[in-house]
Amino acid sequence: MRITVFTIVAAPLHAVWGAYTTPEDIKVWNTASPDWHTTASTVDLRPGGQFSSRMEAKDGSFGFDFAGEYTNIVHGELIEYVFGDRTGRVAFEDGVDGVAVTVSFDAEQTHSEEQQRAGWQAILDNFRHHVVGKQAAP
């Protein structure tokens, strides 16, 4: 099963792309809820390059690495990757209202479709808020 989440970010494409692919930005926005955070992030943005984000509960009770390998990069347009035996795709489309960001991924078997969709959408919503906030900062 494939799950897709979507948002529109009211910011220039270069700012949206940069925030999605920069480790320091990723550590700010990559969380599905306030009781979690991303403590480390690495990005080698090229086909065959590795990525990793260390996600941890703020109370220290649990953590995991979300890691994989990029399979296709089209600067400013597309990121495709594998993580374990699953694939993911992030598409960026510049439009009148901002940049449409569409994330699709293979579902896993542990959590329900609704839980996965809600978690990934929450992360994407945090991403949008982060980018818009950076644009508004002096």
User: Residue 108: which CATH number?
Assistant: 3.30.530.20
Q: Is residue 116 part of a domain?
A: yes
Paired tokens of 91: 């598409």
**Statement: residue 138 has pLDDT above 90:** no
Q: Is residue 41 part of a domain?
A: no
Paired tokens of 1: 């099963």
Distance of alpha carbon 20 from alpha carbon 57, whole angstroms: 22
94 pLDDT band, cuts 50/70/90, is very high
Which domain, by its residues, includes 87?
A: 2-33+75-136
How many independent structural domains does the chain possess? Answer: 1
Distance of alpha carbon 116 from alpha carbon 108, whole angstroms: 8
| Tens digits of residue pLDDT in 26-67 | 999 999 899 999 999 999 999 999 999 999 999 999 999 999
Q: Is residue 112 part of a domain?
A: yes
Q: Is residue 39 part of a domain?
A: no
Q: Is residue 69 part of a domain?
A: no
Q: Is residue 130 part of a domain?
A: yes
**Statement: residue 117 has pLDDT above 90:** yes
Q: Is residue 20 part of a domain?
A: yes
Closest CA to 128 of 40, 3, 2, 6: 6
User: Tell me, what DSSP letter sits at residue 30?
Assistant: -
Distance of alpha carbon 2 from alpha carbon 37, whole angstroms: 25
Average pLDDT over residues 107-121: 94
Whole-prediction pTM? 0.94
Q: Is 108 helix (H, G, I), strand (E, B) or coil?
A: coil
- What pLDDT score does 137 carry? 77
Find out whether 100 and 6 touch, Cβ atoms under 8 Å: yes
Q: Give, in order, the Cα–Cα distances in Å from 21 to each of 15, 29, 48, 114.
A: 10, 11, 15, 26
